[in-house]
């Protein structure tokens, strides 16, 4: 079972969740469409992995990066770039340019306050590589490898890499940020799908919560409806759902709020009270802990994405 409180319970849980996302239809379908539309590779990597280990079979990877990963000297440089990006992308999207001039980007996938993995893309130039740039890259390769014939092989592979201009690249990254929210939600949903069959008391409690989501909900009311004492109910609910009853209520309210935030003419404060929060500050705090960003930032990103599609 995957446990969600402020985050996942262990490294093993986080890695298993990333593996489940990677094998799922949502990611596989999106990756195929992304690579076909952009010509860039898309990888899903665990936040626990500090080495270069790309398990996805990307249709858009390039020969130069494959050579870099297969060579001990250049691979070490690539590992260092990856580690730096992982550190920088723990809380927000991060990009960097490697020694060869290729741009690479990590977009975090967050569950609560915790980053469990990254969407990784790039391996492209943002502008045409000129003769002086090629000479600089060749000198850097020669310093790393020391074998001129091998450097020539690297240089030839470099010539086939795509150029994606900065504005287009940044727009593509925005789409990945929107997709990362979908993967974050799917990670949350795995909590329910990985549990054993729910006890009747838990099913009753969930029905009660769903019917009363917009109203104040107390543990004593839910426990009473489920036919148990508060202490016994709390234990059974957490064992079954992998989270406390309060956390589950908050999750359902945030799911509702995400839909309401797509209504341009509704104030965030109105949405907060509509979905059952007692104050705007409480809503902001819980929303940020679940999705990793404030409601206003989430609304802005989603509405921009809708506008692009229109």
Residue 168, number of CB atoms within 10 A of its CB: 12
At residue 192 the predicted structure's pLDDT band, cuts being 50, 70 and 90, is low
Give the residue extent of every domain in the chain.
Answer: 11-189, 197-309
Percent of the chain with pLDDT over 90: 40
pLDDT above 60: residue 309: no
pTM of the model: 0.62
User: With bands split at pLDDT 50, 70 and 90, how would you rate the model's confidence at 144?
Assistant: confident
Query: With 90 as the cut, is the pLDDT of residue 152 above it?
Result: no
The C-alpha atoms of residue 238 and residue 215 are separated, in whole angstroms, by: 22
CATH of domain 11-189: 3.30.450
Q: Across residues 201-206, what is the average pLDDT?
A: 91
Summarised one tens digit per residue, pLDDT across range 103-140 is 999 999 987 778 889 999 998 999 887 777 778 888 88
Tell me, what's the pLDDT at 8?
46
Residue 290 is predicted with a pLDDT of 83
CATH class name, domain 197-309: mainly alpha
CB 111 within 8 A of CB 82: no
* pLDDT computed for residue 4 by the predictor: 44
Residue 50: what pLDDT? 46
- Assign 31 a pLDDT band (cuts: 50, 70, 90): very high
Between 49 and 261, the more confident residue is 261
The CA distances from residue 219 to 151, 257, 282, in Å, are 67, 22, 18
The answer on pLDDT for 195 being more than 80 is no
Tokens of 55: 């398990």
Would you state the pLDDT for residue 93?
94
pLDDT class for 32, splitting at 50, 70, 90?
very high
For all residues of the chain together, what is the average pLDDT?
Answer: 83
């Amino acid at each position: 079972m995957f446990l969600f409180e402020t985050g996942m319970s262990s490294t093993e849980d986080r890695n298993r969740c990333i593996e489940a996302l990677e094998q799922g239809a949502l990611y596989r379908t999106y990756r195929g469409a992304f690579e076909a539309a952009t010509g860039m590779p898309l990888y899903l990597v665990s936040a626990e992995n500090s080495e270069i280990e790309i398990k996805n079979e990307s249709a858009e990877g390039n020969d130069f990066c494959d050579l870099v990963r297969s060579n001990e000297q250049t691979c070490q440089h690539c590992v260092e770039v990856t580690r730096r990006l992982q550190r920088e992308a723990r809380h927000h999207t991060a990009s960097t340019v490697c020694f060869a001039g290729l741009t690479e980007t990590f977009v975090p996938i967050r569950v609560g306050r915790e980053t469990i993995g990254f969407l990784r893309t790039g391996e492209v130039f943002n502008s045409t590589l000129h003769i002086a740039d090629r000479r600089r890259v060749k000198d850097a390769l020669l310093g790393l490898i020391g074998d001129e014939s091998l450097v020539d092989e690297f240089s030839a592979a470099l010539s086939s890499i795509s150029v994606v201009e900065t504005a287009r690249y940044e727009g593509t990254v925005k789409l990945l940020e929107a997709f990362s929210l979908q993967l974050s939600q799917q990670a949350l949903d795995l909590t329910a799908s990985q549990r054993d069959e729910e006890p009747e008391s838990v099913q009753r409690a969930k029905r009660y919560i769903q019917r009363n989501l917009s109203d104040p909900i107390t543990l004593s009311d839910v426990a009473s409806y489920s036919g148990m004492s508060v202490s016994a109910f709390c234990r059974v609910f957490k064992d079954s759902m992998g989270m406390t009853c309060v956390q589950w209520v908050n999750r359902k309210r945030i799911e509702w709020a995400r839909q309401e935030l797509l209504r341009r003419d509704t104030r965030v404060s109105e949405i907060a009270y509509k979905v059952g929060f007692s104050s705007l500050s409480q809503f902001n705090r819980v929303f940020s802990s679940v999705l990793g960003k404030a409601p206003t930032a989430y609304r802005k990103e989603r509405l921009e994405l809708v506008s692009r599609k229109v």
